[in-house]
Amino acid sequence: MRSTLVSLAAFALLAALPAWAQTSTISPDRIDAVIKSAFPNAPEDFKSRLLPDATMKDCTAHANNPPPAIAEAIQKSEAATIQYPPDGKFLGDWRKGEALAQSGYGLRFSDYPPTRANGGNCYACHQLTRQELSYGTVGPSLLEYGKLRDFKAEDAKTVYEKIYDPHVALACSLMPRFGSNKVLTIDQIKDIVALLMSPDSPVNK
């Protein structure tokens, strides 16, 4: 009896949902068209961002879980976009990195025309320092990131690559491609690497 009631209730809920919410087969073209029409006044250099690139299309087509061959192809093409620091050094200034991690400035409508450098907005998704209590949890906590890795030089390189293009390590990462999509410069990425990997950084205290 109880289970009948539960399934009746579930059925009533389902019946109350609009038809589009009951089906998972909304055409991606329809979604693209709706998104495009929602931003009629997008600045010219903003428009390309309203359409998915090849990587995003592949990830969407496979609900972010592509078969190994496609995942590998994504990782390979994204890896080819990484530019390394000309001086071969991966650690910049962690103080500047902390300011960048805090800043969500850049690439929003209200930021056109830009008046200062873009930020990385890392706190929107990650915990980084004990001092900052306001952070998102979409990504894992990065507290003690360098300390847990014994501040190894090869890990500094890995972090640089992760920030430059997170799709190399995880084909359908939800993290923005800060270097490949020109959100941050090479020097800014080095400053953020220092925030994670320097023994003096508040991330590792």
Residues that bind ligand HEC (CB under 6 A): 101, 120-122, 124-126, 138-140, 142, 159, 162-163, 166, 169-170, 173-176, 178, 192
> Least separation, in Å, of the C-beta of 69 and ligand HEC?
20
CA distances from 187 to 86, 115, 120, 122, 146 (A): 10, 19, 12, 16, 19
Angle at the Cα of 53 (from 61 to 112), degrees rounded to 5? 130
Give the nearer residue to ligand HEC in terms of CB position, either 30 or 152. 152
Give the contacts of 12 (CB within 8 A, at least 6 positions apart): none
Give the nearer residue to ligand HEC in terms of CB position, either 14 or 157. 157
Largest CA distance in the chain: 72
Give the nearer residue to ligand HEC in terms of CB position, either 125 or 143. 125
> Least separation, in Å, of the C-beta of 159 and ligand HEC?
5
> Least separation, in Å, of the C-beta of 27 and ligand HEC?
26
For 98, how many CA atoms within 13 A lie in the half-sphere containing its CB? 15
> Least separation, in Å, of the C-beta of 142 and ligand HEC?
6
Give the nearer residue to ligand HEC in terms of CB position, either 173 or 201. 173
What amino acid is encoded at 24 in this protein?
S
Would you say 178 and 107 are in contact if contact means Cβ atoms under 8 Å apart?
A: no
> Least separation, in Å, of the C-beta of 77 and ligand HEC?
17
The C-alpha atoms of residue 199 and residue 205 are separated, in whole angstroms, by 8
Give the nearer residue to ligand HEC in terms of CB position, either 1 or 133. 133
